[in-house]
Amino acid sequence: MRRQRAGAVTAAAVLLLAGCTSEQETAQTPGLEERGTVLTTVKAERQDLTNKISLAGKVAIDPVFGVVAPIGGEVRYVQRKPSAKPAEEALWVATVWKNGQPREVVIPKGSIMAGRLMEDRSTVAKGMPIVSARHSGYGIVANIDSAQAYRISGAVSSVTGQIKNGPGPFKCKPKGTIAALPAGTIPEPPPTTAPTTSPSGAPVQPEQPVDVPEGSEATGLQLVCTPPPTVTLINGAEVTLEVVTGKAEDVMVLPVEAVAGTQGKGKVDVVDENQNRKTVDVTLGLTDGKVIEIKKGLTGEETIAIPGPNLPTAEAQPGQPG
């Protein structure tokens, strides 16, 4: 009896051990998917879209803004004596010539010529800042970082301001272009050749030398706007600006993570039924930072991979900062 019991216990132990070993052998760690396998996909949708950006700004006195070339060509500056008096009407300060046709460049009423941003007779491109001007009085200046640059570099349709613990919301009129400006220079005025005597023979007092301003300092990428005169401003007060650069209705959109590029032309990866990627070109439109408009290149039925075909982040090389 003792031998039978001992044999039964041994057999049970063997069976138990065998069962545990079998379960352990069948439990395997999940493996990784093959490199290049598409795990996340999306299809284009249609919706209304508004490109709206929030900026942090401050009230400033006599802020500087840029005026751009209306066309590409050769810039020729108007020779004027420097003045500290704001223009009483739009002031002609330069001309851009292309194929023998001139296009005037003016600074707006209420501003002062602050500097030339290019050498006289330089070749310029359309939209390039060529003149800096100084708004006379209070204005609002908001700095723009590189992540927002391309979303806001186009035409601004409206700007709304709200002063912290102060007036608002109110409309704020944009001044000049949205761009970083190089230092502006004011050249010496041309020498005068006035006669030393009047027609009567009396000596003529020579003109007093004109103090030439130093010109404008370089700026970062910024937006300058002016609120209505009814809004009370305090220099240095913090302001929140809501900038709308465009609106579109019932447009095709994709998540920004699925698209390489943020303005003009871009690329997406189309995935077929065998999980193979094919990179195609698309024409891009507005974005709200979450989705981006697809103007051309897709029908809307394609399956799109996430992330898109962006270049991988470069790894730090020895001797370079990480």
Nearest to 163 by CA among 142, 180, 134, 136: 142
Q: How far apart are CA 258 and CA 308, in angstroms?
A: 4
What is the distance of C-alpha 88 from the center of its chain? Answer: 32
pLDDT of 14: 47
Q: How far apart are CA 142 and CA 137, in angstroms?
A: 16
Q: How far apart are CA 33 and CA 275, in angstroms?
A: 12
Query: In one letter, which amino acid is 73?
Result: G
pLDDT of 307: 87
Q: How far apart are CA 61 and CA 108, in angstroms?
A: 17
pLDDT of 248: 87
pLDDT of 161: 96
Take residue 161 and report the two structure tokens written for it.
């301001």
Mean pLDDT by 10 residues, the chain (322 residues): 50 49 49 58 92 92 95 94 88 95 94 94 95 95 82 78 94 91 81 57 57 78 93 96 89 93 85 90 88 93 88 50 48
pLDDT 10s digits, 101-119: 999 999 999 999 999 999 9
pLDDT 10s digits, 171-224: 999 998 888 899 999 886 665 555 555 566 566 555 555 555 678 899 988 999
Query: In one letter, which amino acid is 231?
Result: V
Q: How far apart are CA 10 and CA 8, in angstroms?
A: 5
pLDDT of 201: 56
User: Half-sphere exposure of residue 309, counting CA atoms within 13 Å on the CB side?
Assistant: 13
pLDDT of 215: 82
pLDDT of 157: 80
Q: What angle do CA 231, 221, 315 make, to 5 degrees?
A: 140
8 A C-beta contact, residue 23 and residue 288: no
